[in-house]
Amino acid sequence: MMRIQVLGLCRFSLLVQGDFQTTGEDLDDNRAILYDPARLERRMRWFETLCVPPLMAQTDPDFTLIVATGEDLPEPWAGRLQAVAEAVPQIRIECLPPGRHAPLCREALARHVDPTADVVAQFRMDDDDAVAIDYVAHIRADHRLAARMTHKHHPVVMNYTSGIVARLEGDDLTLHAEMAQNWGLAQTFYFPGGEVRSLMNYRHDKVWAKVPTLTLPGPVMWIRGHHDVNDSRGHLIGKNRVAADPDELPRLLERRFNLDLADLRAALTLPLDRPLPGDGPAIPPA
């Protein structure tokens, strides 16, 4: 039976040089931006309340998600990341030294690649994104569509184009449906097994120019968070909106992502200087 390893990467305020729009080459400047307490609290709330619950509810739990962060990530956020990892056995925290972005991430992925796998399926997500609860199951089931294009020298990439944008402006959280290709969300790289390969060798938005890609406009497969500390500033959001019944979107959150809109709105609109309700991370019990 073919063994497909599913391996993901999520960067949480990773202190690096290069490849981002809101940080640059100076590590001291980048540290001041990334470790600003208000920014860290915003990112952590999105991670705990939007990103993590769908991962905990995956219908296929056989996956690993590397959460890469800086080795000097301050408290209490470093402790909250560890608490999430303790609650979600698929999560592995990699505390990395400052350096160049792409090589650090490639090395972190390499440490977790299974050399015995026939296929290594890699994906990336931001800490304010989410994937549907059957995303891992789709990664395995849909490999058959990519198998004939697989080549020892390059991956095959699968894009799921249907998703939801969750937009936070002030104390208002709104949802809309969107179609998007090569945003990097629910974008799967199928690498042939037997050697260490990395999606970090490819820009998610330009990968179509380098390797074979497939597009599947099927069920809603992702959520993109949009707020005041996005790196991309959301310049692509809204260009391909899809008409949707506003009453259906909350039902989609629950059915496809294990999320409750009222709880999500309460957590994400709570003032940043007030703690979330409860004694620990805002993640549901297993």
Q: What is the pLDDT of residue 282?
A: 44
- Alpha-helical (H) ranges within 98-187 are 101-110, 135-141, 143-146
Q: What is the pLDDT of residue 284?
A: 40
- The domains of the chain are located at 4-269
Q: Which SS3 state, helix, strand or coil, does residue 271 take?
A: coil
Tokens representing residue 26 in the block: 């100076």
Q: CA–CA separation, 200 vs 104, rounded Å?
A: 10
Q: CA–CA separation, 15 vs 73, rounded Å?
A: 9
**Residue 149: Cβ-neighbour burial (10 angstroms; 0-12, 13-18, 19+):** middle
Cβ proximity of 143 and 28 under 8 Å: no
Q: CA separation (Å) from 47 to 24, 30, 34, 267?
A: 24, 20, 15, 11
Q: How far is CA 192 from the centre of its chain?
A: 22
Question: Per-residue b/e over 64-87, b at no fewer than 16 CB within 10 Å?
Answer: bbbbbbbeebeeebbebbeebeeb
Cβ proximity of 226 and 165 under 8 Å: yes
CATH code: domain 4-269 is: 3.90.550
Tokens 């990892």, residue? Answer: 85
Q: Which SS3 state, helix, strand or coil, does residue 103 take?
A: helix
Closest CA to 7 of 200, 262, 232, 228: 200
Q: CA–CA separation, 202 vs 176, rounded Å?
A: 29
Dihedral sign, CA of 122, 123, 126, 130?
negative
Q: What is the pLDDT of residue 102?
A: 87
Q: What is the pLDDT of residue 22?
A: 61
Say if pTM beats, i.e. exceeds, 0.85: yes
Cβ proximity of 210 and 149 under 8 Å: no
Q: Which SS3 state, helix, strand or coil, does residue 7 take?
A: strand
Question: Per-residue b/e over 124-148, b at no fewer than 16 CB within 10 Å?
Answer: bbbbbbbbbbbbbbbbbebbeebee
Q: What is the pLDDT of residue 234?
A: 56
Tokens 């304010």, residue? Answer: 128
Averaged over successive runs of 10 residues, the pLDDT of the chain (286 residues) comes to 94 80 71 92 95 98 97 96 96 94 90 95 96 98 92 90 92 91 91 87 88 93 86 63 87 96 94 71 41
